[in-house]
Amino acid sequence: MHRAIRLAALALLATGIAARDVAAKGDKLPKTDPKLAAAIEAAIRKAGGDDFWGTVLVASKGQVAYVQGFGFADYEKKPNAADTLFEIASTSKQFTATAILRLEQQKKLKTTDTLDKFFPKASKDKKKVTIDHLLHHTSGLDPKLGVPYDWGGARDQYAEQMLAPALVDVPGEKWSYSNVGYALLAAIVEVVTSQSFEDYCRKELFAPAGLEDTGFVKDRNLIKSGRITKRKCDDGQPSWTAADWHYGWGYRGMGGVVSTAPDLLAWDRALRGTKVLGEAAKKKLYTPTLEKYACGWIVDPGERGGAKVSHSGSVRGYRMQFARWLEDDLVVIVLTNDKEDPHAVEREVTAAYLANR
């Protein structure tokens, strides 16, 4: 990025006008404690440098303790704000997993169902692969499988192509991160509901959770939004944004959700209640198998006991980290349209918050 843009971003950061306060879906935003704000911003600089670009939100028990935007959404003059729209890449997987568990809750499938139930043309070895295996990245599918993000084929063509090669591992015995597995989960949602994956998510997940700004790449209302970020990368096109990019069966289910920090906090609140998933389904959502991976969430011990569930995302133009402490009821969200490490920012911001709460 040009030095002049960086300097302008620093000036906005220093004066605090790079963000506008936004309450979390109806909650009145409390005034940020100056000492806490100073500690968090020092933590952001420590992890992301003086030129961190993006949005950072910290909330406790559903109340926003800190939210701030840094740098520019358009790389020129429009500042990142608290409610700026970013693509969340692989963090999208939690929505796909939740859609599957909601369908199980609605008794339209079981996570013990095998893939041949949904894809009759799948090779015989796929009769040993269950939905559970796809959710936990233990399916045995070849990790090299996949097609480009801009692949334009149809769902059934994609599923047939991805399920034709032989398994490379025994299902359930080895963890291997599989984007294809989550695309197949999105395909299962469509097979079971006879509607698009996106429509099911909008109706059954986004609406009950009160997510007003969340959608998918290619959503027209997001493309037209004045709060969208540009997608800047080495092979980028001038027209690319968080919502105007490649989207199809090369990316569906594994990525492609576009959202804001306040909407992700609203999603946290919905998952803590029962609007989307009941208690039994939520237990399954957060129960890991191999490599601490549950259903679209990585489960670790929290800094003060209990469970920390998180997921990151990285795609051309965007990086992010979404961390939630289940017992402590703490949320830290880092969204960036630059190349800073969101994991490092989250760790430093969390430490600063816990030391100054």
Look at 321 and 3; give whichever has higher pLDDT.
Answer: 321
Beta pairing class for 330-336 and 54-60: antiparallel
Are residues 101 and 240 both part of a single domain? no
Note the pTM of the prediction, 2 decimals: 0.92
Residue where a domain stops, chosen among 154, 169, 196: 196
Q: How far apart are CA 66 and CA 69, in angstroms?
A: 10
Beta pairing class for 298-301 and 307-315: antiparallel
Q: Which of 80, 42, 55 is nearest to 322 (CA)?
A: 55
Residue 283 sits in which domain range?
3-88+198-356
Burial of 343 (0-12, 13-18, 19+ CB in 10 A): middle
3-state secondary structure of 212: coil
Residue where a domain stops, chosen among 171, 196, 221: 196
Give residue 245's identity as a one-letter amino acid code.
Answer: W
Integer-rounded Cα Rg, in Å, for the chain is 20
pLDDT at 291 > cutoff 50: yes
Are residues 130 and 82 both part of a single domain? no
Beta-bridge mates of residue 310? 298, 323
| 278: its two tokens | 């009941």
Are residues 102 and 53 both part of a single domain? no
Are residues 80 and 110 both part of a single domain? no
Give residue 226's identity as a one-letter amino acid code.
Answer: G
Residues 6+ positions from 104 with CB-CB distance below 8 Å: 110, 111, 281
Q: Which residues of 220-247 are buried (b: 16+ CB within 10 A; e: fewer)?
A: eebbebebbbbbbeeeeeeebbbbbbbb
Degrees, nearest 5: CA angle 273-19-254 = 50
Q: How far apart are CA 205 and CA 95, in angstroms?
A: 8
Residue where a domain stops, chosen among 141, 164, 196: 196
Distance, first Cα to last Cα, the chain: 35
Which of the 8 DSSP states describes residue 313? Answer: E
pLDDT-based confidence at residue 76 (cuts at 50, 70, 90) = very high
3-state secondary structure of 343: helix
Range from 13-17, 31-35, 138-142, 177-181 carrying the lowest mean pLDDT: 13-17
Look at 315 and 33; give whichever has higher pLDDT.
Answer: 315
Q: Number of structural domains, the chain? A: 2
Give per-residue pLDDT as tens, 208-231: 999 999 999 999 999 999 999 999
Are residues 47 and 59 both part of a single domain? yes
Are residues 37 and 50 both part of a single domain? yes
Are residues 71 and 124 both part of a single domain? no
What residue spans of 237-311 are helical by DSSP H?
261-272, 279-285
pLDDT at 12 > cutoff 60: no
Are residues 202 and 76 both part of a single domain? yes
Are residues 191 and 216 both part of a single domain? no
Q: What pLDDT, on the 0 to 100 scale, is given for residue 50? A: 87
Are residues 343 and 245 both part of a single domain? yes
Range from 107-111, 211-215, 235-239, 268-272 carrying the lowest mean pLDDT: 235-239
What's the CATH number where 264 sits?
3.40.710.10
